[in-house]
Amino acid sequence: MDELTTLQSIHRAGKKEFLKKGFKSASLRSIVKDAGVTTGAFYGYYRSKEKLFEALVGEQAEVMLERFEGAQREFAMLPPRLQKEEMGKISGACMDWMLDYVYQHLEVFKLLILCSEGTKYEHFVHKMVESEVKGTHKFIQSMHSLGQNLKEIDPQLEHILITGMFNGFFEMVVHDMPKAQAVEYVKELRQFYTAGWQAVLGY
């Protein structure tokens, strides 16, 4: 077995084991057996099953977070009046991109959303929530600068609502939703949350 084939076999076996059992319950012994390699050969590539998990999901997790945070930065750099006009356009374009990216790497996002407990990626969604919370605060400040007095929102309620939004978004991964259905689902999810935020903030 050449080096590339060995690595591919380890990745295939690791993905299969993690998807079946989750990271915490996954057995390194099962992974190396399924890959047809020795434990020593495995350690020639990765020093732990966590490093293998990182190799399987790390790039896509980083790309997703960077794209999302980039959209937040792009929006925050707009003048307040343009933020008011462009909010739906920028957030919608980002959400559409995220949906496409998820479906390009569906098994990876299954690992991230469903199987990452016990790794540094178990807080993947939480990082997106925290970024959105900060972005929401900046938007409220921008609207205040325009003389629009939005309602104060309880921080705990804010966190719950934003967490619900992201958990709702990734339900398409949890439930193996066909992409065409997911496109309509996310469109309606956005409509629901847009109306909800307008009501909560008096916007």
Sign (positive/negative) of CA torsion 21, 24, 29, 33?
positive
Q: Tell me how crowded residue 121 is: count the other CB atoms within 10 A of its CB.
A: 22
Taking a C-beta distance cutoff of 8 angstroms, is the pair 32, 41 a contact?
yes
Domain coordinates of the chain in residue numbers?
1-47, 57-201
Superfamily classification of domain 1-47: Homeodomain-like (1.10.10.60)
Q: Tell me how crowded residue 191 is: count the other CB atoms within 10 A of its CB.
A: 10
> Which pLDDT score, from 0 to 100, does residue 89 have?
79
Which pTM does this prediction carry? 0.90
pLDDT per position as a tens digit, 145-184: 888 888 888 889 999 999 999 999 999 999 999 999 999 9
Is 52 exposed, middle or buried (CB count within 10 Å of its CB: 0-12, 13-18, 19+)? buried
As a whole number of angstroms, the distance between CA 5 and CA 139 comes to 50
User: Furthest-apart CA pair in the chain: how many Å?
Assistant: 68
Query: Is 4 a residue whose pLDDT tops 80?
Result: no
The residue behind tokens 């325009």 is 146
Taking a C-beta distance cutoff of 8 angstroms, is the pair 81, 142 a contact?
no
pLDDT per position as a tens digit, 102-150: 999 999 999 999 999 999 999 999 999 999 999 888 888 888 888 888 8
Please report which confidence band the pLDDT of residue 80 belongs to, taking 50, 70 and 90 as the band edges. Answer: confident
> Which pLDDT score, from 0 to 100, does residue 22 have?
97
Sign (positive/negative) of CA torsion 162, 164, 168, 173?
positive
What average pLDDT does the chain have?
Answer: 92
Please report which confidence band the pLDDT of residue 198 belongs to, taking 50, 70 and 90 as the band edges. Answer: confident
